[in-house]
Amino acid sequence: MRRLGRRSRWLVASGVAAAMAAGLVTAASVRAETDGNWPYGGGGKSKAVVLAAVGDIACQPGEAEEGEKPTDLCSHTRTAAMVATADQVEAMRPDLAAIMGDEQYQTGRYEDFMGSFDRTWGAFKFLQRPAPGNHEFYTSHGETGVEGTGYFDYYNGYQVNADGTPKLTTFTDAKGNTFTQPLPQPHGQAGTTGEGWYSYDVNGWHIISLNSQCKVMPGGCDPNGSWMRAQTDWLSADLKAHPGACTLAYWHQPLFSASGDVSREGKVSKEWWKLLYRHHADLVLNGHEHLYSRFAPMNPDGAADPAHGIREFIVGTGGEGLDKLAPSTPKPAAATDQFYGVMKFTLTPGGYSWRYDSAMKDPDATTGASSYHDTGSGHCH
């Protein structure tokens, strides 16, 4: 059978996205209407499942919004990096893709998703299991668009009027100007709209996507604030309901930094780490820092714990610029700030392996190696 090229798959995904938003097709019918090959036909019949993982992906299309710099837009480098990581996923042929936030810069409007992210990563949209980042739940750049409206429009679909036009909701920016976005469906691929946390099971693994973007929500980032308390209580119940599985959790901003950045969501992340550690979780994945780093297994205080610790990966190298590594405690076991790339996890019942391969070197990095690789494996607790 003929394999769909990346652009052809983007056209399929974009058409399907519009039809699903209008309630005309379901994800199941997508498989029947394609030629059966990846991405909608699955990655194969292996006993192992491949999970791609990365965050911080798509540059902002068009013109700069108020308060932004021209460097925030889709430069040649950022566009090339976004295409390179999409091509890397195509070559990887994963069964699913965990996206750790900041899918779309700068303010995550629906039209920005369609004008940038969807043109590359949209080719395998329905394999994606996203988490939102601060550029989806935003209050900066002269705008106010809380609760990730454009993000939920893109992943969950939007509501339509009787004539097929989108139902709209209106926001007011910091200058008093108004702008509209489609009104998202209440539930969908990214969980419940306005919440954005959910879990799924694959090949003996229980995988959890969390929403760390608490700043703009009721109660803020206080772990006992109403919005965060609801999510943490849900996480506790979810972990209790899956006691025998290997466990992987991901969200946007990491508890342990490789760039010296102190997360404003640190108290929340610490609560989640305690719960995950108590329930013998194996892996935590994050984005936000535009670099790659891997930490040795550790407890929620960052102390080494080879027997029971959780291994944290930061994979914020999807295409939207790169950050610099900085001294941090604990120190990563492996790290680079010169490359864009996507992580490949191979999940088997009782274990996992990882492989990070660079997709493109930062053109500003004129010294050092031309590529980067980090591989390894581990067993579930």
133-137, 184-188, 229-233, 234-238: least confidently modelled range: 133-137
pLDDT at position 132: 95
| pLDDT band at 65; cut points 50, 70, 90 | low
pLDDT at position 23: 36
- Per-residue pLDDT reduced to its tens digit, 20-58: 333 333 333 333 344 457 887 654 556 799 999 999 999
User: pTM for the whole thing?
Assistant: 0.89
Give me the percent of the chain exceeding a pLDDT of 70: 83
Q: Is the pLDDT of residue 333 over 50?
A: yes
| pLDDT band at 137; cut points 50, 70, 90 | confident
CATH topology of domain 6-379: Purple Acid Phosphatase; chain A, domain 2 (3.60.21)
Average pLDDT, the chain: 87
Q: Which CA distances in Å does 27 have to 2, 16, 190? A: 21, 9, 14
Q: Is the pLDDT of residue 19 over 60?
A: no
| Mean pLDDT for the stretch of residues 69-83 | 83
pLDDT at position 145: 62
Structural domain spans, the chain: 6-379
Q: Is the pLDDT of residue 280 over 90?
A: yes
pLDDT at position 147: 79
| Mean pLDDT for the stretch of residues 179-208 | 96
